[in-house]
Amino acid sequence: MSSPVARTILAFQHNAKLYNLSTAVLAVTPFHALAEANRQLFKIGTDDDSVVITGETIFHPQGGGQPSDTGSMTSSTGSTFSVSSVRMDSVHDGQVLHLGRFSEESRPFSVGETITQSLDVEKRLLYSRLHTAGHVLGAAVRHLLEKQIPGFDELKASHFPDSAACEFQGVIEGKWKAPIQTRVDEYVARAMPVEVDFWSEDDFRANGLERLIPAPDSGLRLAPGEKYRVVKIVGAEVYPCGGTHVDSTDLCGTVGVKKISRSKGTSRVSYTVS
């Protein structure tokens, strides 16, 4: 059965510096009333929490290696909802679930009510720096080692502050740590522009990047007529990516290659930003 609530418009994918947004409330659900699959998304959820769905959102849901944004929603009558975690709905395609709690003096929002979303800007900026830095690291490793390591490929990545790392197919020996750091430093110093675009599968092919077309089992589902969102580090690499980023590589700050670890034919390169 189809959902009565529409897909959430991901405003942050078009403007990552939109820190406040007025939008309509589409649904408010007590945490205990969520479908089991959605309750499982929120490890911190309790019966004191609720989930709010809005027509648009500036909150990035956890995914693609990036943590979820946090912040608040407020109504014109003064009700406040503190957003502690955000996920994509597991049951209804394209909806964004904002988990949080209404303040003691607040009444729950009404469906159709206009509220204002506000981000924790400091966290958003940190997560954006970490995500862009992860792509910079991935580009540096690919350009250095793609032809050096048999079967090389980029795998998954984590852009969480305490566990930021990129994983690669192939064994990257410790001797490569210094050259990777040098290449990362170069890309950061060059202040390479970071641009967002939307591509069809034909666009990937036209740019010789068929390898980047998301696989059918990737879990990425597009609405009819939608294109894949890509992030381009101009002069380095292109990545299919739904996350938030800084405008140029120098805004990552200092990116440190922390450690290279290896296990069962894969390598993990961890990093920090400061």
Residue 4 covered by a domain: no
Among 104, 119, 134, identify where a domain stops.
Answer: 119
The CATH number of the domain holding residue 155 is 3.30.980.10
H or E segment to which residue 75 belongs: strand 71-75
Output the pLDDT for position 218. 64
Cross-strand partners of 24: 114
Residue 223: predicted pLDDT: 73
Side chain identity at 201, as an amino acid letter?
Answer: E
H or E element at residue 203:
helix 201-206
Q: Do 189 and 102 reside in the same domain of the chain? A: no
CA atoms within 13 A on the CB side of 146: 9
Say whether both 96 and 132 belong to one domain.
no
> What was the pLDDT predicted at 216?
72
User: What is the pLDDT, as a whole number, of residue 4?
Assistant: 63
Q: Residue 2: what pLDDT?
A: 44
In this prediction, residue 221 carries a pLDDT of: 67
181: exposed, middle or buried (C-beta count within 10 Å: 0-12, 13-18, 19+)?
A: middle
Ranges under pLDDT 70 in the chain: 1-4, 217-221
Which range marks the domain in which residue 199 is found?
124-273
* Whether 223 and 128 share a structural domain: yes
Q: What is the pLDDT of residue 219?
A: 61
Residue 225 and residue 167 in one domain = yes
Domain count, the chain: 2
> Do 185 and 113 share a structural domain?
no
Together in a domain, 72 and 94:
yes
Q: Please indicate, yes or no, if residue 2 is contained in any of the structural domains.
A: no
Among the candidates 97, 119, 141, a domain finishes at: 119
Domain presence at residue 3: no
Same domain, 46 and 132: no
Residue type, position 101, single letter: R
Task: Look at residue 217 in the predicted model and tell me its pLDDT.
Answer: 65
Tell me which of 71, 87, 119 is where a domain ends. 119
Residues 150 and 17 in one domain: no
